[in-house]
Amino acid sequence: MSTLTFYGAVTGVTGSMHLLETQSGRVLLDCGLYQGGREEEAHNEDPFPFSVQSIDAVVLSHAHLDHSGRVPLLVKDGFSGPIYMTSATLDLIEVLLKDAASLQLRDIEWENKRRRRAGKTELAPLYTMEDVDKALSLCQGLDYNAQITITPDVDITLREAGHILGSSIVELTTNESGRQRKLVFSGDLGNSQAALLRDPATIAEADVVLMESTYGDREHRSMQETLEEFEEVITSASQNGGNILIPSFAVGRTQEIIFRLGELYQQGKLPQQLVCLDSPMAIAVTEIYHRYQNVYNREDKHAIEQQSAGVNPDQKSLHTFLPTLRYTVSTEESMAVNRIASGAIIIAGSGMCNGGRIRHHLKHNLWRSRSHVVFVGYQANGTPGRILVDGATHIRMAGEDIAVKAQIHTLGGFSAHASQAQLIDWFSHFNDPKPRLYLVHGEDNAKQTLKDALAKHHWRAEIPGYAHTITL
């Protein structure tokens, strides 16, 4: 009999990993990094809780590192089977995994310099660029809605999840002794108010459903209210001469913000003459988004095509939609942006301010009362972003203690995750009697609140613990 064991994203929102075992094979759903504070990230060093060599296939719901970031470690430890995902996800994880390996190597080099001086044992990175290249050689990109067999008794179909480019809801059908069972793994479900991508696909049939619960305890502000507040921040910064800093995740959120700024530009409501995307990874990802405009929703694709006047149809993109957008790739270009004291909108990673170039821009702008910092995504506990959102008056940033005098804004409507009502609506499309439902990928309160909300509809949800095993 098929079983499913929950090995990640059960005590928080990172480290997604679940193991499906059938009579003929073992399939790993996601293999994500733990992200957040040091205590959380220390779990990345833990050995896998199963025999890596016994895994027959891996299926990735999408490219975010909390769902894909430990794949090179899996390969380093001996996995050599196929890794399935959408074609867009395959393009994205090449960028993300190589960036992750590069950052690990840089951090390890700095730490080992300190350790050598102290006479301590040096550390090794979690994985190397060679491990990433080997992992990428095992990856296979699939089209949405195409059913394929990945082990003798497991078929998969990837449906649109609307979270980021290439994100998917994973349908797995097991066939054992003439008996079929369907497991649906939501991955991360998108916010139906978000720009560019289509809404998550709805599914009618399933025996077991794993559903994310990141925002299971809240509703997003309406997009209209969010855009109005965004416009107010832009106007205020223009009037007082301050910069606007937007810590943003390279995949998904950055492209949404570029599109929204493009809308304001096209409406004549963007007084700033420079929008700077200061993130080599986000730049690379934005170029990948340009290649997959066929999966954009109809309205936003039409807006880009119609309002990029005078541009060759093959070259119309987010960049032509927002002509004031400039890329800064090199370190020297990024340092030059730091010298801009006013009048710029700077989009940089990381989204939670726990790495990347945004830390240096915060160092140069947080202490200025006319500066604005706009958070457009989830801030995990323990991250600098959460510390700022929670009202810190001082923060350690880029090696210095910085006074926080900038105006801090949180625009929750830009979330790429479904809200509580959207999660409930997605589950409502399953036929009665409803499938068994398990909530993952959420903080404890979010999962419990969502469970209680589902109970009001007379739908039962369970909250699994680490290494909890169920039968299909």
Q: Which residue carries 């390890």 as its tokens?
A: 108
10 and 159 both lie in a single domain: yes
Write out pLDDT tens, residues 273-306.
899 999 999 999 999 999 999 999 999 999 999 8
25 and 154 both lie in a single domain: yes
Query: For residue 295, which amino acid is it?
Result: V
Give the DSSP H/E element, type plus range, for residue 67: helix 65-68
* Nearby residues of 430 by Cβ (< 8 Å), 6 or more positions away: 203, 204, 205, 206, 209
406 and 447 both lie in a single domain: no
pLDDT at 311: 76
Ramachandran category for residue 369: left, alpha or beta (phi over 0 → left; psi -120 to 50 → alpha): alpha
299 and 314 both lie in a single domain: yes
180 and 278 both lie in a single domain: no
pLDDT at 309: 66
* Nearby residues of 411 by Cβ (< 8 Å), 6 or more positions away: 221, 226, 229, 230, 374, 375, 376
Phi, psi of 142 (to 5 degrees): -120, 155
Q: Give the domain extent around 401.
A: 223-414
Distance CA 106, CA 122 (A): 14
Q: Are 338 and 365 in contact (CB under 8 A)?
A: no
The residue among 414, 441, 458 that closes a domain is 414
pLDDT at 413: 85
Ramachandran category for residue 441: left, alpha or beta (phi over 0 → left; psi -120 to 50 → alpha): left
133 and 61 both lie in a single domain: yes
Alpha-carbon torsion (411, 277, 259, 235), positive or negative: positive
229 and 271 both lie in a single domain: yes
* Nearby residues of 104 by Cβ (< 8 Å), 6 or more positions away: 125, 126, 127
181 and 229 both lie in a single domain: no
The stretches in the chain having pLDDT less than 50 are none
The residue among 414, 446, 461 that closes a domain is 414
pLDDT at 36: 73
pLDDT at 37: 72
360 and 424 both lie in a single domain: no
CATH of the domain at 264: 3.40.50.10890
391 and 443 both lie in a single domain: no
326 and 229 both lie in a single domain: yes
Q: What is the count of structural domains for the chain?
A: 2
Phi, psi of 283 (to 5 degrees): -65, -45
The residue among 384, 399, 414 that closes a domain is 414
CATH of the domain at 15: 3.60.15.10
352 and 462 both lie in a single domain: no
